[in-house]
Amino acid sequence: MTRKCCVLILVATIAALVLRLPRLDQRPMHGDEAVHAIKFGKLLEKNIYKYDPYEYHGPTLNYLTLIPASLSSADTLTEVNEFTLRIVPVICGVLLILFILLISDGLGENASIFAAILTAISPAMVFYSRYYIQEMLLVCFTFGTIVSGYRYYRDRKIIWAILAGVFIGLMNATKETFIISLGAMLLALAAVMIFHRKNEQNTENVKKIKIIHLVAGLIAACIVSVLFFSSFFTNMQGISDSILTYKTYLNRAGTSDIHNHPWYYYLKMLIFYRFETGPIWTEALIVILAIVGFVSSFIKKCTSCADSNFLRFISIYTLILTVIYSVIPYKTPWCALSFLHGMILLAGFGAFVLINITQRVVPRAVISILLIIAAVHLGYLSYLNNFKYYADSRNPYVYAHPTNEIYEALDKIEYYAKADPKGKDMYIEVIFPGHDYWPLPWYLRSFSSVAWRNNVAFNEKSASLIIALPSVESDLTKKLFDDSIPAEESHLYMFLFEDAPYYIYLRPKVELMGFVRSDLWEAANAGDPDEFLKQQAEK
């Protein structure tokens, strides 16, 4: 590898950090992020993790978060912040760029530089590198498997076979959909071998593979997978659950629900997306260059500066992933990352091919300038995506996401907690049918007396502060203004959000109402809460 290639990929890595690290706490926690955070809290505080074959995906996200938590000296979930959590996918997103250093001879040095730049500035890659979910980890470990496999193909050293096994184990322990990526790899590998079956050099390369190396890789994969799923031998049932889980996820993939979308959902999102008055979002540059790279990988004269076998493997692998994810009805935006990353690698090669399609200075200069302008535009969209429209439903990557108004609710709760004699021990009720109150558990993690309810509990004492969906307002009114309750035991309640229509949006189309007991409201707004409560007690 030349110094130029190494330096420019490192520059791309720095650019990736510049886009991924700032203001990690700015965006409200998505419900899925909050679920993983609360699950991590149990691991952090009680050293308990049990793999659930029905929800939450694999354990690597939780266990790897112990590292930044330990570095920040956090012992409880209340000491953990968004940076501590989100730095894990940030690191995985950056590793995707550094791994390119190990395949520069397969992709071609110039193509590797372009791929590194596109990985650094891709809006989707940046956005979900700042998201506390498993997807970026899965993409990172998948690429680690490909890189290690390629290095073994080139060097035949057992360490690369073992590393490939380690990464496969990490893939398995990250998310159940790893099987799609692994299957696409095996199919692509088989296709390349068939494509070159008459090539004597490839035949010799296959013969050089040592069975002991493959066995070592398989053992490494099994060890890593068993360690994580068994919670490091504290939950042996997790091993069998990691296999039985596929029945659940296969059923979910074909079940019609709110996450079902048409086959072109991902491609439309990447090529052209605009919602109402929002900006036009597009990563068409990557898609177009990927198509060029795909076609060129099968043209012999275009692959003279790279490894044609590797390029064709990436091409077939990416095509298979794109087709499979498009066919599966169940779709969420972050699932596109698996094949988008393959497209980015192909796009790097596609950019190299376009620039070198002619030796004439003027056409090459024009193509280079156009590519630079398109890349700058992609970087600008990445900035808008992550620092302006980070919680805006007009952003295609903002999916079922809490609005910024959740901070208003939190400020109100903190405000009244200061006026309550119990402080953070203030009794709070959260009433959401279907327990659809996420990410509130994350934001209320420092409050010790929160009752999470599915419906109004008529036989329970009403809390000082109540958060609820409008759908339970009728039942809540009956309880709060029950004539059978003695006057000295009853309390009036004020709206937590004083201005009409007296609610905020937790998520788009999901309204959240709040009620605060009148004596607490008066205490908080009396200037001196302690003095006011003292006067109330004397009365």
- 3-state helix/strand/coil string of 135-191: HHHHHHHHHHHHHHHHHHHHHCCHHHHHHHHHHHHHHHCCCCCHHHHHHHHHHHHHH
Report which of 375, 168, 208, 407 is spatially closest to residue 289, judged by C-alpha positions.
375
Phi-psi region of 19 (alpha: psi -120 to 50; beta: other; left: phi over 0): alpha
Compute the distance between CA of residue 132 and CA of residue 115 in angstroms, rounded to an integer: 24
Range of the domain at 513: 405-538
Kindly state whether residues 33 and 162 are assigned to the same domain.
Answer: yes
Minimum mean pLDDT among 115-119, 370-374, 507-511, 525-529: which range?
A: 525-529
pLDDT at position 305 is 86
From 387, 421, 447, the end of a domain falls on 387
Compute the distance between CA of residue 449 and CA of residue 358 in angstroms, rounded to an integer: 70
**Residues 6 or more apart whose Cβ sits within 8 Å of residue 57:** 134, 174, 175, 176
pTM of structure: 0.93
Q: How many domains does the structure of the chain reveal? A: 2
Compute the distance between CA of residue 298 and CA of residue 38 in angstroms, rounded to an integer: 48
Tokens of 218: 């398989």
Identify the band that residue 209 occupies on the pLDDT scale cut at 50, 70 and 90. confident
Kindly state whether residues 95 and 244 are assigned to the same domain.
Answer: yes
pLDDT in tens, 378-408: 999 999 999 999 999 999 999 989 999 999 9
Contact 493, 515 (CB under 8 A): yes
Kindly state whether residues 18 and 150 are assigned to the same domain.
Answer: yes
Kindly state whether residues 346 and 410 are assigned to the same domain.
Answer: no
Tokens of 93: 């997103």
**For residue 300, is pLDDT > 90?**
no
Residue whose tokens read 């700042």: 130
From 387, 420, 451, the end of a domain falls on 387
Residue 201 vs residues 103, 271, 309, 357: alpha-carbon distances, Å: 20, 40, 11, 29
Helix pair 211-229, 158-172: axis angle to 10 deg: 30
pLDDT in tens, 225-239: 999 999 999 999 999
pLDDT in tens, 237-252: 999 999 988 887 777 6
**For residue 358, is pLDDT > 60?**
yes
Please, how many CA atoms are within 13 Å of residue 529, restricted to the half-sphere of its CB? 15
Contact 63, 228 (CB under 8 A): yes
Residue 394 forms part of a structural domain: no
Kindly state whether residues 491 and 360 are assigned to the same domain.
Answer: no
Contact 236, 230 (CB under 8 A): yes
pLDDT at position 489 is 55
Of residues 157 and 253, more confidently modeled: 157
Phi and psi angles of residue 527, each rounded to the nearest 5 degrees, phi first:
95, -55
Beta strands 450-453 and 428-431 are parallel
Kindly state whether residues 378 and 413 are assigned to the same domain.
Answer: no
pLDDT at position 273 is 94
Residue 67 forms part of a structural domain: yes
**For residue 530, is pLDDT > 60?**
no
Identify the band that residue 502 occupies on the pLDDT scale cut at 50, 70 and 90. confident
Compute the distance between CA of residue 221 and CA of residue 293 in angstroms, rounded to an integer: 32
534 burial class (0-12, 13-18, 19+ CB within 10 angstroms)? Answer: exposed
Tokens of 25: 């706490």
Compute the distance between CA of residue 414 and CA of residue 423 in angstroms, rounded to an integer: 9
Kindly state whether residues 360 and 415 are assigned to the same domain.
Answer: no
Residue 255 forms part of a structural domain: no
Identify the band that residue 537 occupies on the pLDDT scale cut at 50, 70 and 90. low
Residue 392 forms part of a structural domain: no
> Mean pLDDT, to the nearest integer, of 294-323?
93
Minimum mean pLDDT among 40-54, 84-98, 414-428, 495-509: which range?
A: 495-509
Compute the distance between CA of residue 96 and CA of residue 469 in angstroms, rounded to an integer: 42
Residue 155 forms part of a structural domain: yes
Share of the chain above pLDDT 70, in %: 93
Phi and psi angles of residue 453, each rounded to the nearest 5 degrees, phi first:
-120, 150
pLDDT at position 492 is 84
Kindly state whether residues 447 and 345 are assigned to the same domain.
Answer: no
Residue 258 forms part of a structural domain: no
Phi and psi angles of residue 452, each rounded to the nearest 5 degrees, phi first:
-95, 110
Identify the band that residue 490 occupies on the pLDDT scale cut at 50, 70 and 90. low
Tokens of 261: 């979308």
Kindly state whether residues 458 and 327 are assigned to the same domain.
Answer: no
Omega of the bond leading into 28 within 30 degrees of 0 (cis): no
Kindly state whether residues 367 and 410 are assigned to the same domain.
Answer: no
Compute the distance between CA of residue 76 and CA of residue 43 in angstroms, rounded to an integer: 10
Residue 142 forms part of a structural domain: yes
Kindly state whether residues 383 and 413 are assigned to the same domain.
Answer: no
**Of 215-219, 249-253, 258-262, 358-362, which has the strongest mean pLDDT?**
215-219
**Could you report how far apart the first and last alpha carbons of the chain are, in Å?**
83
pLDDT at position 539 is 46
Residue 429 forms part of a structural domain: yes
Kindly state whether residues 492 and 354 are assigned to the same domain.
Answer: no
Report which of 13, 20, 60 is spatially closest to residue 39, judged by C-alpha positions.
60
Q: What is the largest CA-CA distance in the chain?
A: 98
**Residues 6 or more apart whose Cβ sits within 8 Å of residue 1:** 101, 104, 105, 109
Average pLDDT for the chain: 91
Strand partners for 481: none
Identify the band that residue 196 occupies on the pLDDT scale cut at 50, 70 and 90. confident
pLDDT in tens, 254-285: 665 778 889 999 999 999 999 888 899 999 99
From 320, 353, 387, the end of a domain falls on 387
Compute the distance between CA of residue 309 and CA of residue 2 in angstroms, rounded to an integer: 22
**For residue 529, is pLDDT > 90?**
no
Contact 58, 429 (CB under 8 A): no
